[in-house]
Amino acid sequence: MSPRAAVGGGAVVVLAVDGPAGRALADDLAREGVGILALIPAASLAELAADSLLGADSADLQSRLEQAQVVLLDASRETLDARVVALCDRLGIRIVPRCATPEDERLAAAFGLAGPVVPDDDPSVVAEALRAHPVRPVAEEEAPRSGPRVIAVWGAAGAPGRSTVAIGLAAELARGGGRIALVDADSHAPSLALALGLADEAPGFAAACRQAELGTLTTSELTRIAAPVSVPGGTIDVLTGINRPSRWPELGQKRVAGALEVCRAWADHTVVDVSASLERDEEIVSDVMDGPRRNAATLATLREADLVVAVAAADPLGISRFLRGYSELRAAVGATPVAVVVNRLRTGALGIDARGQVRRTLERFAGIRDVWFVPADGRAADAALLTARPIADAAPRSALTQAMRRFVGEAVVRL
């Protein structure tokens, strides 16, 4: 029998309950026929989710959780947050919250955790809560989702078409099924809501960031605040950006990182549109060490990303700006893969063999050998703007749509 198989009609349980109460509860549940896999401190899951549990302790706890079906958790703001929920979601573990106060019950409800128990409950009641709705056996679980989970779309200053590429990328990924999220994290000039005909007064990404800071952001809450946009073959869940640039302090570094962590558990792929600016100058002019930073959302997204799509405009000025910003980008993302997309390719701005000239320039001055090109297609772009729809919907047979499809197949899906 596998470790995750039900024991005596019950479930394999990890108890995250502190002190003598945890040991007494473990004995009581064992008498009720519940298989107790481990008894751990209540804060252990939060420490593991935050990567602050080190060495052998982390490996041992991870191994035990992989064998469990249910975790009974003493719920509080110190032990239950978005990262804990995301960790258990990834491992296929159901959380049964043990709530000592009404505040703890409200916290559990905010994360969508049903069936809470209280310390005074009879062990038989707790055992029934643990046995209810067991998770599916491992053999029936879905195959792990492949490919980059968080994709940041960046481009140098000068409007090279970041948002157009981000929307096109999300639309093509949606053709493969699954949940695709599109996030506007641009703290300077957010535009996804306008480009897609959505109300920019919606809660959007700023609301997700606020809840992430409070530890109350869940996958169900992301579904509630996202705006669905239908595209050929699927749907994109859009988290719109701030509706005024002055609201940029709402997109703080920790908030953005926390929100994107929950997005990993929510969507198969999350495409994030960020601003061009990568400067850290605010740290020089401010004596407040933990103060807000204008470019924090961009830098946090780039650090969290599994893939960065770097967009350059196919003209002399656009390529020059891209080369100047590319070194800063590489310094910000480290070893994260970067796929370069040259947008609006046309012969008028670069002369004969525009594609070859761009390739040679990028390789000579930045060592970039793999480049994907998106042609200038004014008619398709205008149709998308006129109808406030993705280009894949407004002009499904356009050269621009075909180029984005080729890029997704060659540079994104294969990762």
Mean pLDDT, the chain, whole residue set? 86
Q: What is the pLDDT of residue 143?
A: 44
Mean pLDDT within 231-247: 91
Quickly state the pLDDT bin for 145 (edges 50, 70, 90): low
Instruction: Please state, in angstroms and rounded to a whole number, the distance separating the CA atoms of residues 303 and 301.
Output: 5
Q: What is the pLDDT of residue 55?
A: 62
Instruction: Please state, in angstroms and rounded to a whole number, the distance separating the CA atoms of residues 12 and 5.
Output: 7
Instruction: Judge whether residue 159 has pLDDT over 70.
Output: yes
Instruction: Please state, in angstroms and rounded to a whole number, the distance separating the CA atoms of residues 140 and 384.
Output: 42
Q: What is the pLDDT of residue 35?
A: 86
* Number of helical (H) and strand (E) elements in the chain, helices listed first: 19, 12
Mean pLDDT within 195-216: 90
12-140 against 150-412: fold identical: yes
pLDDT digits (tens, 9 = 90+) for 16-27: 898 888 899 989
Mean pLDDT within 147-155: 92
Instruction: Take residue 143 and report the two structure tokens written for it.
Output: 């195959």
Q: What is the pLDDT of residue 290?
A: 56
- Which of 58-62, 89-93, 156-160 ranks highest by mean pLDDT? 156-160
Three-class SS state of 22: helix
Mean pLDDT within 159-163: 95
Q: Which has more pLDDT, 111 or 217?
A: 217
Task: Specify the DSSP class assigned to residue 143.
Answer: P
Note the Cα 163 to chain centre separation in Å: 18
Instruction: Judge whether residue 146 has pLDDT over 70.
Output: no
pLDDT digits (tens, 9 = 90+) for 63-110: 788 888 888 999 988 898 877 877 787 777 888 999 999 888 888 877
Q: Minimal CA–CA distance to 265: which of 335, 158, 181, 338? A: 181
Contact 168, 175 (CB under 8 A): no
Q: Minimal CA–CA distance to 307: which of 166, 195, 208? A: 166
Report which secondary-structure segment, H or E, holds 102.
helix 102-110
Could you tell me the maximum CA-CA distance found in the chain, to the nearest angstrom? 81
Q: What is the pLDDT of residue 395?
A: 93
Q: What are phi and psi of 69, to 5 degrees?
A: -105, -35
Lowest mean pLDDT among 5-14, 211-220, 226-235, 256-265: 5-14
The residue to which tokens 């169900």 are assigned = 220
Q: Minimal CA–CA distance to 271: which of 140, 107, 178, 152? A: 152
Q: What is the pLDDT of residue 275?
A: 95
Lowest mean pLDDT among 131-135, 200-204, 272-276: 131-135
The residue to which tokens 């040259």 are assigned = 342
Q: Minimal CA–CA distance to 372: which of 414, 325, 317? A: 414
Instruction: Please state, in angstroms and rounded to a whole number, the distance separating the CA atoms of residues 128 and 131.
Output: 5
Q: What is the pLDDT of residue 67?
A: 84
Runs of H (alpha helix) within 112-161? 123-131
Instruction: Please state, in angstroms and rounded to a whole number, the distance separating the CA atoms of residues 406 and 167.
Output: 15
Quickly state the pLDDT bin for 56 (edges 50, 70, 90): low
pLDDT digits (tens, 9 = 90+) for 336-363: 999 999 999 998 888 888 999 999 999 9
Q: What is the pLDDT of residue 105?
A: 85
Q: What is the pLDDT of residue 414?
A: 64
Q: Minimal CA–CA distance to 235: which of 189, 191, 175, 289? A: 175
Q: What is the pLDDT of residue 135?
A: 41
Q: What's the alpha-carbon Rg for the chain, to the nearest Å?
A: 24
Instruction: Judge whether residue 383 has pLDDT over 80.
Output: yes
Contact 343, 311 (CB under 8 A): yes
Q: What is the pLDDT of residue 60?
A: 80
Q: Minimal CA–CA distance to 193: which of 229, 236, 240? A: 240
Instruction: Please state, in angstroms and rounded to a whole number, the distance separating the CA atoms of residues 172 and 151.
Output: 13
Contact 268, 297 (CB under 8 A): no
Instruction: Please state, in angstroms and rounded to a whole number, the distance separating the CA atoms of residues 322 and 345.
Output: 15
Instruction: Judge whether residue 213 has pLDDT over 60.
Output: yes
- The CA-atom distances, in angstroms, between 53 and each of 48, 62, 90, 124 are 5, 10, 18, 33
> Which residues make Cβ contacts (< 8 Å) with residue 57, sequence separation at least 6?
none
Task: Specify the DSSP class assigned to residue 275.
Answer: -
Mean pLDDT within 159-173: 96
Percent residues over pLDDT 70 in the chain: 88
CATH annotation of 12-140: 3.40.50.2300
Instruction: Judge whether residue 282 has pLDDT over 60.
Output: no
Lowest mean pLDDT among 133-147, 201-215, 265-279, 310-324: 133-147
Q: What is the pLDDT of residue 5?
A: 43
Instruction: Take residue 371 and report the two structure tokens written for it.
Output: 């480049």
Domain ranges, ordered by start, for the chain: 12-140, 150-412
Q: What is the pLDDT of residue 200?
A: 76
CATH annotation of 150-412: 3.40.50.300
Instruction: Judge whether residue 136 has pLDDT over 70.
Output: no
Instruction: Judge whether residue 293 has pLDDT over 80.
Output: yes
Q: What is the pLDDT of residue 320?
A: 96
